[in-house]
Amino acid sequence: MATRRVILLPGDGIGPEIAAPTVELLDAVAPAAFEFEEHLVGGASIDAHGTPLTDETLAACRAADAVLLGAVGGPRWDTTDPSRPRPEQGLLALRKGLGLFANLRPVRPVPALYDASPLRREVIEGTSLLVVRELTGGIYFGEKTRTEDMASDDCVYTRAEIERIARVAFRAARSKVTSVDKANVLETSRLWREVVLDLHAREFPEVELEHVLVDNAAMRLVAAPRDFDVIVTENMFGDILSDEAAMLTGSLGMLPSASLGNELPPNHPDSTPGVFEPVHGSAPDIAGRGIANPLAMFLSAALMLRHGFGLEDEAAAIESAVDRALADGLRTPDLGGDATTAQATRAVLQHL
């Protein structure tokens, strides 16, 4: 197995606490397969360099085979002053700089954690869905204006942006794609619906397609999550819905993600390095206490193995080890237990 170069961006808060055991896990599942190079991002980079993402870090990420990120943000960098840098700007710049337009967030409640979810077991049992979120367009990247009494954020989507993210969703679907929009109000959503319909008719007529308004989708996610296979939606809707979907698993600490660029297969010489990160934030309230749940970071590493390098067996080994550790009773505080980060790491390693 050739050595892969992975840029490690621990970030802020609990990020460094979950990044280190993830390196240990990857070295165990694929010995000598990875070369890690650590860089600062987010608030840590602001403190050191005055910017949440330096040109040098972005260049290193572009030259790497994959990027593994912990978390960014925290109250010490919170500001409403548009002239001051925020940690989250580093994450957005990284996605834009690498052209990572597709964010994949698999949601699969583990049977051992059915009772940890705020929803009843019979509601979530058998759920296995994928949220495909458009990541580099929409209101997060539109033109922004600000005066003392007025602010605006422009939401813009092009036909090409919508078509490429919809194509990712159709290719990932087992049976059905649910396209989520707000076409009863927004022009961007009306274009979104039109483009998805056209692509479906041209390239994927064998896949079932449904259109759901975002408010209805939010309700259905907690009322009947088994009805979903693949959900595809724009940037802000995807951000909100995937966090809601995380509660099906019992905790944000269980949800991984993969951010991908071009549609080339893993290991292709022209493929874009993906960014793999847990969906949860930096959890500054528990940072430094050694009780952060590392499982979403572990599962993000599994997505890196699968989508970044085509190492399906190694990815499945990590996912199986996490499942079995939970079945044996592993519970971190966010899951109602008292296991530390170190204890959770040992439990997964023992089942690897």
Is 227 tagged catalytic?
Answer: no
CA pair distance 272, 45, nearest whole angstrom = 23
Shortest CA distance to 135 belongs to which of 274, 30, 306, 268? 274
Report yes or no: 241 and 180 within 8 Å, Cβ to Cβ. Answer: yes
d(CA 66, CA 3): 12
In the set 114, 140, 157, 334, the catalytic residue is 140
Element holding 8 (H helix, E strand) = strand 4-11
Active-site option among 65, 181, 239, 334: 239
Given the residues 65, 182, 229, 334, the one annotated as active site: 182
To the query of whether residue 198 is one of the catalytic residues in this protein, the response is no
Nearest to 346 by CA among 21, 110, 27, 15: 21
Catalytic residue status for 215: yes
Please, which residues have CB within 8 angstroms of residue 286's CB and are 6 or more apart in sequence?
14, 292, 333
Choosing from 27, 55, 78, 215, the catalytic residue is 215
Element containing residue 7 per DSSP (H, E):
strand 4-11
**CA-based angle 167:170:175, to the nearest 5?**
175
Q: What is the radius of gyration, based on Cα positions, of the chain?
A: 20
Decide if 139 contacts 239 (C-beta within 8 A): no
d(CA 70, CA 62): 18
Give the tokens for residue 165.
């993210």
Measured distance CA(337)–CA(123) in Å, rounded:
23
Q: Report, as residue numbers or ranges, the catalytic residues.
A: 140, 182, 215, 239, 243
